[in-house]
Structure 1
Amino acid sequence: MGCFPCSGDSSSIKKPEKKRKNYSHINTNHYTKDDQRIPTTVSPNKGGKKENKIDINPSAAPDEVASKRSFCDEDGNRSNSRAFQYTELEAATENFRSENFLGEGGFGKVYKGCLVDTGQIVAIKQLDPNGCQGIREFTVEALFLSLADHPNLVKLIGCCAEGVQRLLVYEYMPLGSLDDHLHGRPSNKKKLDWNTRMNIAAGAARGLEYLHDKMKPPVIYRDLKCSNILLGEGYHPKLSDFGLAKVGPSGDKSHVSTRVMGTYGYCAPDYAMTGQLTFKSDIYSFGVVLLEIITGRKAIDDSRPAAEQNLVAWARPLFRDRRKFSQMADPSLEGQYPVRGLYQALAIAAMCVQEQASMRPVIADIVIALNYLASQTYDPSRLPVHNSRKSSSSYKSRKDDEQKPLAGTTTRDDDDEQTRLND
């Protein structure tokens, strides 16, 4: 999968060719990506008082940004982001030794490093001058993360813009990415239990809520996917990689018109067809991520039969038959999940991936629902294990509900179930 520019009918979207080097001899982690990006910009905010003014001028020299030892927030206070000399980062990575290589994406290569002066372990992302991403992404991400502050967003330690070198320095996330744990090689894949999955989903939602509702001006992420959700100690999730972030619509505007960019399989169909970017575009992407967390399937998986390659297309018919809900649970859970919790998580995902943007919930409501699910600790030793190949007995006793769809209807039963979800 990768990032793509597209326009017109979503059926015209084509997956980019994968261009990856073979680093099978290296223990890679969450920084390994095969996405290809095309530079984009974050529009400046021109109105309002006391707002973080993310004024990105594509023609501005990034050296002017990185030459400052720190950045300023909306109140004029300086953040802790620092400007590094290139020699400092060479020393931190032992001259970018292959043993310190973590992965490679559209931006360039990422290395693990240890800052000589502080001893802090960091991840250092080095811009590939011949890559698809460029100066704009570097500037956008450096400015954005210097202004953002939330426990569910990855922290920017600093950056370097010296000569032709462009590097970003982040806190190191030792447990890799959510993508690694859900879809990594069996030898590297760590099993995620139900409680951990719901905590990750809730944390990622809180990070997205910060971007949509608490940043000033609000920001549309535009690249939410499992490989961009990094995991710290205790599987604490943090959103990362904000090179495609876009300042959202303000005032009476409902959308931002822009060239369509994102990652194949996660891009909302309304955005892909019209180029009109809204906060609901991120909600669709979040729904895909939540489906991946529940099912253990990839957003796009060419190794599966044609009818199952697109996760959302595979899931939609199953949403309409409760007898098949257990079939959607990740087999690696081995039946250890709460039936009610599975239904509620699927209900949230179903609402998020509605084709019509207006039918998708706002992020604040998603956070409330997922916080509730995360608070309901599941103890498999006290509850029965469910067989994903058979219908759960708890559903068989509710024959009048078996054919009820999760989303897209307005029956009394659906209203009652939605009330229980909100409660």
Structure 2
Amino acid sequence: ILDASKKKRLTKIFLVVSNALGVSVFGSLIIWSRIWKSRTRTKGKREEEDLELPLFDFTTIATTTNNFSPSNMIGAGGFGPVYKGNLSTGQEIAVKRLSKNSGQGPQEFKNEIQLIAKLQHRNLVTLLGCCIQGEERMLIYEYMPNKSLDHFIFDHSKRGTILPWKKTFDIVKGIARGLLYLHRDSKLHIIHRDLKASNILLDNNLNPKISDFGLARMFEDDEKEGRTRRVVGTYGYMSPEYAIDGKFSMKSDVFSFGVLLLEIVSGKKNRRFHHPDHHHNLLGHAWLLWKEDRALNVMDACFKEYLYVESQVLRCIHIGLLCVQKFPLDRPTMSSVVFMLENEGAISTQPKQPGFFLERCSSVECSTSRNEEFYTENMITISVPNGR
């Protein structure tokens, strides 16, 4: 049994130790908090320094977009909403604001900046700067008054008058030159991975500019092919090797360009294409007509009401089918595509069967025979960010 004096001593020791531990823990928490805040600030500063771009403050962007008013919203995509803004200088801008529910995230944001900030070409959209504040991430681009290509090629009321064949052919060549720059002429050798009609913006003079580089990848000089377990992009434009095996290369972009080219000529969407005589997609339909020597029937009927050059239309269909061939090695490079587009009589090869040459079940067949398999190739699962 301890006497009273010993108990007092032990109590004092216990209190001293407890207080010391409490002070130590409290002090550690304060120090850790300061370190965390410092690292967060440092990380933010490093992120800003790494971007090598003009930085806009949040207040400026909020003011230019009327506090991100719905009336200023001009579109939305996998990245998030896009707003029109007016700087104090009078310059019009487009602001892409990263959404918390976006299919893309901070990595895609940084990826887009690091790639496009180093690219300069008349057929690529110009990035003016960015805004990073707290969790806010925004990209500031030059404003494109004519929106994107899909607003024209899939709207037959605009095709013949606003987008006649001559201008359409110029747009095709412009897109091809922009893609060639990404693949060969830029020092970075970039694979876009999401080339589609809604990612082709049109300026005041309807000149095409490739946009949306969030999913793009850079290749080294000796690198020919990449592979990923997370297949991202837009169904209908993906090449078979990318959609099924996750393999991507410059030839994957060539496939996407071929799909886009056939969509431009036909005014039809590949994925939503329907025909009363068969259940093929647009690629299969074009291929069937090509084999029957009726390729001109692929052309949008609205062009027939206005002036068009038959040889150019057939050339585009021919090149489109070469680009969407099933196997990557059979597809031309973008340098060959540009050469063929700009030179009549430059095409010497015949297209082979396109990728995804298979018949889909009709709505009636699907509803009456759910357990029957109508695809002739392996079924695939694709994770796709929301399109614009």
- TM-score range for the pair, normalised by the shorter chain length: 0.7 to 0.9
Question: 2:331 — aligned with what?
Answer: 360
Q: Letter of the aligned partner of 1:329 in structure 2?
A: M
Question: 1:169 — aligned with what?
Answer: 140
User: What is the CA distance between 1:305 and its match in structure 2?
Assistant: 5.3
Q: Decide whether the 8 Å contact of 2:315 with 2:341 is kept in 1.
A: no
Secondary structure at 2:96's aligned position in 1? strand
Secondary structure at 2:270's aligned position in 1? coil
Question: 1:313 — aligned with what?
Answer: 284
Distance 1:265 1:70, change over 3 A: closer
Question: How far apart in 1 are the matches of 2:151 and 2:163?
Answer: 11
Q: Letter of the aligned partner of 1:106 in structure 2?
A: G
Correspondences of 1:63-74 after superposition (within 5 Å): 63-64=44-45, 67-68=48-49, 71=52
Out of 246, 249, 269, the position equivalent to 2:217 is 246
* Count of matched residue positions in the alignment of Structure 1 and Structure 2: 309
Q: Decide whether the 8 Å contact of 2:159 with 2:302 is kept in 1.
A: no
Q: Decide whether the 8 Å contact of 2:238 with 2:256 is kept in 1.
A: yes
Distance 1:351 1:303, change over 3 A: closer
User: What is the CA distance between 1:69 and its match in structure 2?
Assistant: 10
Distance 1:129 1:346, change over 3 A: same
Correspondence 1:408 to 2:352: yes
Correspondences of 1:22-421 after superposition (within 5 Å): 63-64=44-45, 67-68=48-49, 71=52, 81-116=53-88, 118-184=89-155, 186=157, 191-248=162-219, 250-251=221-222, 253-258=223-228, 259-301=230-272, 307=278, 310-322=281-293, 324-335=294-305, 336-372=307-343, 406-408=350-352
Distance 1:294 1:134, change over 3 A: same
Question: How far apart in 2 are the matches of 1:309 and 1:179?
Answer: 22
Q: Decide whether the 8 Å contact of 1:265 with 1:310 is kept in 2.
A: no
Q: Letter of the aligned partner of 2:147 in structure 1?
A: G
Q: Letter of the aligned partner of 2:123 in structure 1?
A: N
Q: Output one character per residue of 1:102-121: Cα deviation in whole Å (capped at 9) or x when no partner.
A: 011121111100012x2210
Q: Decide whether the 8 Å contact of 2:127 with 2:139 is kept in 1.
A: yes
Of all paired residues, the percent bearing the same amino acid is: 38
Question: How far apart in 1 are the matches of 2:205 and 2:255?
Answer: 27
Distance 1:406 1:328, change over 3 A: farther
Q: Letter of the aligned partner of 1:110 in structure 2?
A: V
User: What is the CA distance between 1:203 and its match in structure 2?
Assistant: 0.4
User: What is the CA distance between 1:248 and its match in structure 2?
Assistant: 2.4
Greater percentage in helix: 2
Distance 1:294 1:308, change over 3 A: farther
Question: How far apart in 2 are the matches of 1:60 and 1:219?
Answer: 31
Distance 1:249 1:266, change over 3 A: farther
> Which of the pair has more CA radius of gyration?
2
Q: Output one character per residue of 1:55-103: Cα deviation in whole Å (capped at 9) or x when no partner.
A: xxxx9987346634972xxxxxxxxx41010000011111111221101
Distance 1:179 1:212, change over 3 A: same
Question: How far apart in 1 are the matches of 2:74 and 2:184?
Answer: 33
User: What is the CA distance between 1:246 and its match in structure 2?
Assistant: 0.7
Q: Decide whether the 8 Å contact of 2:56 with 2:130 is kept in 1.
A: yes
Question: 2:4 — aligned with what?
Answer: none
Q: Letter of the aligned partner of 1:127 in structure 2?
A: L
Q: Output one character per residue of 1:226-249: Cα deviation in whole Å (capped at 9) or x when no partner.
A: 100111122110000000001125
Q: Decide whether the 8 Å contact of 2:152 with 2:163 is kept in 1.
A: yes
Question: 1:43 — aligned with what?
Answer: none
Question: How far apart in 2 are the matches of 1:99 and 1:134?
Answer: 25
Secondary structure at 1:260's aligned position in 2? coil
Question: How far apart in 2 are the matches of 1:239 and 1:309?
Answer: 29
What RMSD, in angstroms, separates the aligned Cα atoms of the two structures? 2.7
Q: Decide whether the 8 Å contact of 1:69 with 1:82 is kept in 2.
A: no
TM norm structure 2: 0.74
Question: How far apart in 2 are the matches of 1:262 and 1:153?
Answer: 19
User: What is the CA distance between 1:350 and its match in structure 2?
Assistant: 1.1
Question: 2:361 — aligned with what?
Answer: none
Question: How far apart in 2 are the matches of 1:70 and 1:130?
Answer: 24
Mean Cα deviation higher: 182-191 or 255-264: 182-191
Question: How far apart in 2 are the matches of 1:88 and 1:103?
Answer: 20
Distance 1:304 1:119, change over 3 A: farther
Question: How far apart in 2 are the matches of 1:359 and 1:167?
Answer: 40
Q: Output one character per residue of 1:312-346: Cα deviation in whole Å (capped at 9) or x when no partner.
A: 12211112122x22211111212532222222111
Question: How far apart in 2 are the matches of 1:206 and 1:136?
Answer: 28
In the alignment, structure 1 segments of 5+ residues that lack a partner are 1-58, 72-80, 374-404, 410-423
Q: Letter of the aligned partner of 1:167 in structure 2?
A: M
Distance 1:184 1:163, change over 3 A: farther
Question: How far apart in 2 are the matches of 1:156 and 1:332?
Answer: 35
Distance 1:319 1:185, change over 3 A: closer
Question: How far apart in 2 are the matches of 1:257 and 1:349?
Answer: 25
User: What is the CA distance between 1:372 and its match in structure 2?
Assistant: 3.7
